[in-house]
Structure 1
Amino acid sequence: MRITQGTFSYLPDLTDDEITQQVRYALDNGWSLAVEHTDDPHPRNHYWDMWGLPMFDLHDAAGVLYEVNECRTAYPSHYIRVNAFDARYHRQTTALSFLVNRPPAEPGFRLDRQEDTDRRLRYTLHPYAADRPAGDRYR
């Protein structure tokens, strides 16, 4: 199963040149960039670990790609994404978000069905990766 979160997630993985082009687009629009990673890509897990600090004053796409590659080296089996934030509205607004790294094997999710009162059905997603301890989910 392939996780589809963020822009371009239905496309094949982006090459470093394509990542650089997207970063240039974000910088040309005046957006600040940040790199995040996680080993738990559950759709409700909005809080990924940040790699370093947000790059508010960076104006070179090579610097962002350098940070992406450093994060890939440190966490080769994590999901890594680049976020671009638009500060025009004076609040944290994500203008662009895309994955730049995936683990070699993505185990997917299970849909758990629960019967509730008045014949209601409730569904929850259970990631197979969460059956293993944090930090060891994609080895």
Structure 2
Amino acid sequence: MRVTQGTFSFLPDLTDEQITAQVQYCLDNGWAVNIEYTDDPHPRNTYWDMWGQPMFDIPDAAGIMMELAACRKAHGHLYIRLSAFDSSHGWESVKLSFLVNRPVEEPGFRLRRSEGEGRNIRYTTDPYSTDRPEGSRYQG
């Protein structure tokens, strides 16, 4: 299963050249960029680990791509995403977010169905990856 999250989720994975172009677009618009990683790609998991600090005042995409390469070296077996934030209105709002790295194996999700009173049916998605302990979910 291929996890689809973010702006370019239904396209093939972007090349580093394409990622660099997107990063430069963000910087040209004055947006701060950050890099995050996780081993739990559930759509409601908003608590990804941040790689370093958000990168403000960087004029060239090369600096961010260097940080991305370091993150991939340390966490290349996990999901890594890049997000861009606009603070021009006085608060941070996400303008762009997309995956820039994914594990070789993506176990996917199971759909749980539970029936309530009447005709109420609830659905819950659980990632298969959480069947393993944190830190070992994508290691063979």
| 1:103-114 matched pairs, under 5 angstroms | 103-114=103-114
Give the Cα–Cα distance (whole angstroms) in 2 for the partners of residues 8 and 119 of structure 1.
36
Task: Specify the code of the residue in structure 1 equivalent to 2:95.
Answer: A
| 1:43-58 matched pairs, under 5 angstroms | 43-58=43-58
Moved runs in structure 1, 4+ residues, more than 3 A?
none
Give the Cα–Cα distance (whole angstroms) in 2 for the partners of residues 92 and 47 of structure 1.
16
Q: Secondary structure at the match of 1:59?
A: coil
Give ranges in structure 2 of 5+ residues lacking alignment: none
Give the Cα–Cα distance (whole angstroms) in 2 for the partners of residues 42 and 121 of structure 1.
21
In structure 2, the partner of 1:26 is 26
Q: What is the Cα deviation at residue 118 of structure 1?
A: 2.4
In structure 1, the partner of 2:86 is 86
Give the Cα–Cα distance (whole angstroms) in 2 for the partners of residues 89 and 38 of structure 1.
29
In structure 2, the partner of 1:5 is 5
Give the Cα–Cα distance (whole angstroms) in 1 for the partners of residues 117 and 88 of structure 2.
47
Give the Cα–Cα distance (whole angstroms) in 2 for the partners of residues 41 and 103 of structure 1.
11
In structure 2, the partner of 1:40 is 40
Q: What is the Cα deviation at residue 47 of structure 1?
A: 1.4
Task: Specify the code of the residue in structure 2 equivalent to 1:121.
Answer: I
Give the Cα–Cα distance (whole angstroms) in 2 for the partners of residues 92 and 38 of structure 1.
22
Q: CA RMSD in A?
A: 0.8
Q: Secondary structure at the match of 1:117?
A: coil
Q: TM-score, normalised by structure 2?
A: 0.96
Q: Secondary structure at the match of 1:118?
A: coil
Give the Cα–Cα distance (whole angstroms) in 2 for the partners of residues 138 and 65 of structure 1.
24
Give the Cα–Cα distance (whole angstroms) in 1 for the partners of residues 36 and 97 of structure 2.
10
| 1:56-135 matched pairs, under 5 angstroms | 56-135=56-135
